[in-house]
Amino acid sequence: MYLHSTWRLLNTGHLDGATNMAIDEAISRAVQANLVPPTLRFFGWNPACLSLGQAQPGADVDRDACRALGVDVVRRPTGGRAILHTDELTYSVIAPDTEPRVVGTIVDSYRRLSEGLLRGLMLMGVPTQQAERPDGHDSDAGPVCFEVPSNYEIVFGGKKLVGSAQMRKSGVVLQHGTLPLHGDIARISQCLVSRPDPDRVRQRATTVEAAIGRVIALEDAARWMAQGMVETLNLDLQAGDLIDQERAWTEELRREKYAADEWTYRL
């Protein structure tokens, strides 16, 4: 059992992709500078946004199709493959790499944080489990994140339900992940040049609605997931807001990095 710890809880609502990624990095800077405590953040996306993993080729994106569909494109600071963020709950955990809940290897911290996510999903009425792979990876590398679960990611009926990615930099761990709540999980196929087979995506990934037969609102999902973290990780979550320095860093990072094609299509 972990020693009791107090974290900050943020719910920043629905924002555009560049702002969402800028906020995560701004919080990381603030945690590194000891300006704020470890932070659990929940958020949504408006408009819908295709996010690329930090090292994923920008050529994977069908930019014309995204424009026609009204889908933004952003590059994450974390790894992994493409995700279409729409009709979902997204979380981020930002903490010093000495925090017992994230200390150690990426796989170790995935496992610990996934325990909180699993409990939240159980409270939501979704019986799930952790995927386990010998090395934490899969050789079936395509452009879609949700086609294949990595080690300790969360599956329902063998289909990936929660996708997570992580960055460790300057003594801080940033992990964020996405829980598709409803809609067609294969919509991402329209946004990628390779046009992944929609049936294949649906066979390998799912949503909360498909799992339990009803739509869960983002606010309700966030409440249950937060409670899962509290119960499993022995946390006291204190609702808060971004501090002024985080807001200033967010504006800078959005303008100079995440909203710039030089970052988004740099590979």
Backbone angles phi and psi of 71, in degrees to 5: -100, 125
By the 8 A CB rule, do 74 and 46 touch? no
Q: Kindly state the tokens that stand for 206.
A: 């799912």
The reported pLDDT for the residue numbered 146 is: 52
More confident position, 7 or 158: 7
A 10 A CB-CB count for 15 gives 18
Distance of CA 69 to the CA centre of its chain: 22
53: nearest Cα among 164, 205, 204:
164
CA 134 to chain centroid = 23
Peptide bond between residue 47 and the one before it cis (omega within 30 degrees of 0): yes
Nearest to 171 by CA among 8, 28, 10: 28
pLDDT in tens, 87-146: 999 999 999 999 999 999 998 999 999 999 999 999 999 988 777 654 444 444 566 555
pTM of the model: 0.93
Residue 32 Cα distances to 10, 176, 190, angstroms: 18, 17, 38
What is the side-by-side order of every strand in the sheet holding 5-15? 129-130, 154-156, 159-169, 172-180, 88-96, 39-45, 5-15, 235-239
Per-residue pLDDT tens digits for 80-89: 899 999 999 9
- Residue 80: closest CA among 201, 197, 166, 196: 166
Which tens digit of pLDDT belongs to each residue from 160-204? 999 899 999 999 999 999 999 999 999 999 999 999 999 999 999
Q: Lowest-confidence range among 20-24, 50-54, 132-136, 197-201?
A: 132-136
Q: What is the pLDDT of residue 175?
A: 96
Separation between Cα atoms, residue 233 and residue 9, nearest integer Å: 14
CATH number of the structural domain 5-264: 3.30.930.10
Query: Could you give the CA distance from residue 126 to residue 41 in angstroms, rounded to a whole number?
Result: 21
Residue 45's alpha-carbon distances to 18, 25, 83, in angstroms, are 10, 17, 12
Write down the pLDDT at residue 143: 65
Rg value, the chain, Cα: 17
- Give 61-74 pLDDT, tens digit per residue: 999 999 999 999 99
Q: How many angstroms separate the Cα of 34 from the Cα of each of 21, 30, 38, 39?
A: 20, 6, 9, 12
d(CA 86, CA 229): 23
Active site residue 145: yes
